[in-house]
Structures are given as structure tokens and as C-alpha cells.
């Protein structure tokens, strides 16, 4: 089994380190570097170092690939071609079994498309981005054919980490990684264990055996997915947990609302997370952003429920007695506001990823945060003037020249 990490920044490095420290040596962990320079920086020591609470832990034994080398003449190495200078990664053009993608949201579709010739229906892609909408972009623009589509695992990550140097990462905030498997286009029920009538309700759990079992005639298609889920569950230091996909979507929506408040405001005001709510004015933004987010989620989930009921009716099922699910309490504006304040308090010394990008003059992920709320609101007829304004201000700030004084 081969694991590949695309995006060896703070979160990608943290995940790679924990995979390498947890998995047996026969499971390869390959780091896909964006250029030769970055690869050589790691190969100099052969290690990723993670620091937490003043204690350092180092991992090595990685294989290496180069995604794209823009510093060499195009005639030497074609752009967006995967090559390798590492003897341990000679099969760098071979199939990808499990791909952990920790790139910024706006870079993910382009990068995954460049690797798509190595990705098959037997592959698994784990998405570790901020915001929402990356999965939808990939299945709409890269993997359009459901029968040829890889498996996807989506995540809600709350760890705080930043790099102090190349492949030296400070694990500043201990969080969790909640994950769920996107529904299978082939119809396999990865959550059958939750409604197995042969088991008492209190004992029902998600089960690896619902992904694949020995003797499964379709084991080739599902074995890499099962192995990826098993590997994730072993990452105890990252607090991983496997959730039903609906519960994972709830967690992702909660995190999106938190990011929609903290990220643009801290980027515009150039302050740490904990500085925001020391001032009364910020509470007004908090309530309005969460009001809009909650209204968008409510409209989105109502449309999903309607589509589900229509599908049942098309299958000849009487839906008149089916009670539509209630809107989750956790997605009400009041609950979202409470969650934002909680996260801001426990990450009070951190700076948001959007502020970090703005300070470095980089493109931000705002299109997948406030921009996502704006787009979904437009789709379902929900006005989002505050989120739209914040998204536009961040876009404007990203293109304005810096340090004019």
C-alpha cells in the first residue's frame, strides 16, 4: 500500500509525520514536492520535525517525488510532469493508491487534474482543505464519470499548525480530524453497520467490513479505501474519528461558519484570533455572518431533502408518512455564534490562514469560505450581503499593493 501526500506544508507535514510514525515500514509514504529545491531541502536531513509544547519529534523514511519544476528550463523538465530524483521513488509515475491532498483549496483541482492519469477507481483521495466546495469541483470538473471516479474521504480538521522552516512544523493547537466517506456511485453502503437490525442500536458502529471483506468479488475496487480508513483510525495523535457522511457534513458546515467569521475579519484588521471579540463592534459582524450562514445551510438542506424525497417517489416509494429531518440545532445562528467564540478563545494566540496568506501576498481560500456561502445562497435564493462584502474585500486586499507607507 502506497500513501502519497500532496502539499507538504504545515497540515500536510503533520499528517505525513503521523502516518510515517504509525504505519509499518512496508507501507510507503511518498511526499510530492512542488520542485527540486523543496525536495532537496528535505533530503538534506531526510526528516520532518514536529514541535509541540517545546518537545520535538522527528520522522524519516519517506519516498519523494517532484510535482512540477518551474526553476529548470522547460526543455529539461516539462511543466506539471511528475518526476523523481530519489532512488526510493523510481515508480513515481505508477498508480496512486491513496492521495492525501493538503494544498490550498484554490490549487487543489488543478493539481489533482495533473495527477489524474495515475488515479483510478481503485484510488482514494483524502481532502484536507479549509472551506467547502472542493469535492464538488473535483467531481464536476475532473472526475465527471461516476464509474471511473476514485473514492473520496472528506475531513473537518481543527488542528493548528505552522511551519517555522522547511519541514519544521509547530503543532500549535491540538484539535481533531473528523472524516467521512463520500457516497459510493456504485451503491455500496459504507454505513450499513449503523442500521443493522441484527445489532442492538446502542452497539451499532461504522465498520471496516462494510467497505470490503476477504473474498469480496470487488475487493480490488475497495481495498485501498479500506486501508486508508484503517490508517486514519490509527492516527491517535491527530484525534481522528470516522463519522457518517451526514454528520461529517454537519461538522464541515460548523467549521465553515467559524472560518467565515474569523478568517476575513482577522485578515482585514490584521489581528490575532483572540483580539477580535475584545471589542463590541465585532459582535455585530459575528451575529450577521452567522445569521446568513444558518439561512444558507437551512435552504441547502431543505433542497437536499426535497431531492431525496423525489428520488424515493421515483422508485415507487410512498413518502407521505416520511418525516423530513429537523434542521440541526448546531447550525442555528445562536449555536454557530457560540462555536465561533469558543474557537476564537482556544486559538486566541493564532493567526488565521487567510491573514497569513494576505501578509505573504498569496491568493486566499476566501472563495471556498465566504464565497462558498455567497454562491450557495445565490443558488437557493438566500441573500448574503455581509459574507459577499467580506469575500470581495479580501479579494480586493489580495490584489492591492502592500507596504505603501
Residues taking part in catalysis: 255
Q: How would DSSP label each residue in 261-324?
A: HHHHHHHHHT--GGGGGGSHHHHHHHHHHHHHHHHHHHHHHHHHHHHHHHHHHHTT---TTPPP
Q: What is the C-alpha to C-alpha distance for residues 304 and 328, in angstroms, rounded to an integer?
A: 14
Per DSSP, the residues of 180-210 read: EEPPPTT---TTGGGG-TTS-GGG----GGG
Residue 227 CB neighbours (<10 A): 21
Residues 6+ apart with CB under 8 A from 277: 283, 286, 341, 344
Residue 204 buriedness (CB in 10 A; 0-12 / 13-18 / 19+)? middle
Give 178's contacts (C-beta < 8 A, 6+ positions apart).
155, 156, 240, 241, 243, 247, 248, 251
Asked if residues 62 and 94 have their Cβ atoms less than 8 Å apart, the reply is no
Secondary structure of residue 77 in the 3-state scheme: coil
Coil, strand or helix: which one is 56? strand
The C-alpha atoms of residue 181 and residue 190 are separated, in whole angstroms, by 8
Quick one: residue 77, left, alpha or beta (phi over 0 = left, psi -120 to 50 = alpha)? beta
Q: How far apart are the C-alpha atoms of 281 and 108, rounded to whole Å?
A: 35
Residue in 182, 178, 386, 180 with CA at minimum distance from that of residue 295: 386
Element (H, E) at 150: none
* Euclidean distance between CA atoms 258 and 31, whole angstroms: 30
Decide the pairing of beta strands 63-66 and 28-33: parallel
Distance CA(140)–CA(162), nearest Å, equals 32
Amino acid at each position: 500500500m502506497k500513501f502519497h501526500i500532496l502539499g507538504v506544508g504545515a497540515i500536510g507535514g503533520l499528517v505525513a509525520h503521523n502516518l510515517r510514525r504509525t504505519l509499518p515500514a512496508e507501507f510507503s509514504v511518498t511526499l510530492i514536492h512542488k520542485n527540486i529545491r523543496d525536495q532537496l531541502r528535505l533530503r538534506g536531513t531526510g526528516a520532518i520535525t514536529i514541535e509541540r509544547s517545546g518537545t520535538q519529534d522527528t520522522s524519516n523514511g519517506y519516498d519523494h517525488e517532484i510535482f512540477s519544476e518551474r526553476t529548470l528550463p522547460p526543455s529539461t523538465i516539462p511543466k506539471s510532469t511528475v518526476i523523481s530524483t530519489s532512488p526510493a521513488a523510481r515508480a513515481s509515475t505508477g498508480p496512486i493508491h491513496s492521495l492525501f491532498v493538503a494544498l490550498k483549496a484554490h490549487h487543489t483541482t488543478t493539481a489533482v487534474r495533473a495527477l489524474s492519469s495515475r488515479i483510478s477507481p481503485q484510488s482514494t483521495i483524502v481532502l484536507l482543505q479549509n472551506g467547502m466546495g472542493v469535492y464538488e469541483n473535483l467531481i464536476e470538473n475532473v472526475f465527471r464519470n461516476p464509474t471511473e471516479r476514485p473514492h473520496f474521504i472528506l475531513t473537518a480538521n481543527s488542528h493548528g499548525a505552522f511551519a517555522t522552516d522547511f519541514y519544521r512544523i509547530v503543532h500549535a493547537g491540538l484539535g481533531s480530524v473528523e472524516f467521512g466517506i463520500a457516497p459510493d456511485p456504485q451503491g455500496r453502503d459504507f454505513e450499513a453497520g449503523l442500521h443493522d437490525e441484527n445489532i442492538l442500536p446502542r452497539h451499532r458502529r461504522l465498520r471496516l467490513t462494510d467497505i470490503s471483506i476477504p473474498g469480496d468479488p470487488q475487493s480490488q475496487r475497495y481495498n485501498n479505501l479500506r486501508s486508508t480508513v484503517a490508517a486514519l483510525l490509527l492516527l491517535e495523535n491527530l484525534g481522528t474519528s470516522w463519522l457518517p457522511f451526514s454528520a461529517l457534513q454537519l461538522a464541515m458546515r460548523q467549521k465553515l461558519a467559524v472560518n467565515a467569521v474569523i478568517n476575513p475579519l482577522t485578515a482585514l484588521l490584521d489581528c490575532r484570533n483572540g483580539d477580535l471579540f475584545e471589542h463590541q463592534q465585532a459582535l455585530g459582524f459575528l451575529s450577521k455572518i452567522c445569521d446568513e450562514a444558518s439561512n444558507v445551510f437551512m435552504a441547502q438542506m431543505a433542497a437536499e431533502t426535497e431531492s431525496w424525497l423525489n428520488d424515493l417517489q421515483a422508485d415507487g416509494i410512498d413518502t407521505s408518512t416520511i418525516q423530513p429531518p429537523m434542521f440541526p440545532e448546531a447550525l442555528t445562528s445562536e449555536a454557530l455564534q457560540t462555536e465561533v467564540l469558543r474557537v476564537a478563545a482556544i486559538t486566541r494566540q493564532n493567526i488565521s490562514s487567510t491573514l497569513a496568506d494576505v501578509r505573504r501576498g498569496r491568493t486566499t481560500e476566501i472563495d471556498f469560505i465566504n464565497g462558498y456561502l455567497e454562491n450557495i445562497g445565490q443558488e437557493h435564493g438566500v441573500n448574503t450581503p455581509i459574507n459577499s462584502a467580506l469575500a470581495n474585500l479580501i479579494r480586493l486586499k489580495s490584489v492591492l499593493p502592500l507596504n505603501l507607507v
